[in-house]
Amino acid sequence: MPQLHLYGADVTEWESGGYDLVQSVLGVHSFSEVDADTARLIERARPGGRVAVTVWARGALDPLPELLADALHDDAASDADAASDTEAASDADAATDTEARVADTPGTLAKWLTELGLVDVRAETVQRHLDVTPELAWQLVLGTHLRRLVEQLDDEALAAVRERCLAEVARRSVSSVDVTTLIAVGRRPA
């Protein structure tokens, strides 16, 4: 594919536009300004160009959020100086609230993208479950928005939370995780 050129850049600062297709797979919730940065991403498509956005569905990653929250609460309970852990959990709760608002259902995802300027938006749910081991469960924590719960922890606290979380995965015999996504496709007005 000689027409393919790869770049590494922050999409929120990318100035090029006029693309036939712009797509974001599980990425819009990592934007610092979700609405503004997603609108900017949409503007990278040419008039009449397509935009595809994939986000986690409501309940995706279950039961990991609950297990991680329990592990963090155990950490806070065992550490009298846990203010930073509490702040990290509050920040993650706010991020999760934003995600739920944007990616609650196919209907709300389509409505949100329409409000950001797309037309002819259609969205659907793609249901999937992933067989997991405790180690893969932890990789999902670190590779998704759940990371915000632990990113402020120092190495020692992170190791303790990881150990408690994985112990809960094993104790509850968690063998699969919900990885259901919402996929929406729309067009930038001509």
Structure tokens, 73: 């609460």
Q: Is 8 helix (H, G, I), strand (E, B) or coil?
A: coil
pLDDT at 113 over 90: yes
The domains located in the chain, with CATH, are 11-187 (3.40.50.150)
Q: What is the pLDDT of residues 31-50, one digit of tens each?
A: 889 999 999 999 999 999 99
pLDDT at 102 over 50: yes
CA proximity to 151, closest of 102, 89, 103: 89
Q: What is the mean pLDDT of residues 127-154?
A: 93
pLDDT at 93 over 90: no
pLDDT at 133 over 50: yes
Helix (H) or strand (E) holding 122: strand 119-126
Q: What is the mean pLDDT of residues 72-89?
A: 54
Would you say 134 and 170 are in contact if contact means Cβ atoms under 8 Å apart?
Answer: yes
Q: Which of 14-18, 71-75, 76-80, 157-161 has the highest mean pLDDT?
A: 157-161
Q: What is the pLDDT of residues 3-22, one digit of tens each?
A: 888 888 888 888 888 999 99
Please report the pLDDT score of residue 9 as a whole number.
Answer: 83
Q: What is the pLDDT of residues 158-190, one digit of tens each?
A: 999 999 999 999 999 999 999 999 999 999 999
Alpha-carbon span 57 to 180, nearest angstrom: 6
Q: What is the mean pLDDT of residues 142-149?
A: 91
Check residues 85 and 25 and name the one with the higher pLDDT.
Answer: 25
Would you say 99 and 145 are in contact if contact means Cβ atoms under 8 Å apart?
Answer: yes
Average pLDDT of the chain is 86
Please report the pLDDT score of residue 96 as a whole number.
Answer: 47
pLDDT at 73 over 90: no
What is the value of pTM for the model shown? 0.79
**pLDDT band at residue 77 using 50, 70 and 90 as cut-offs:** low
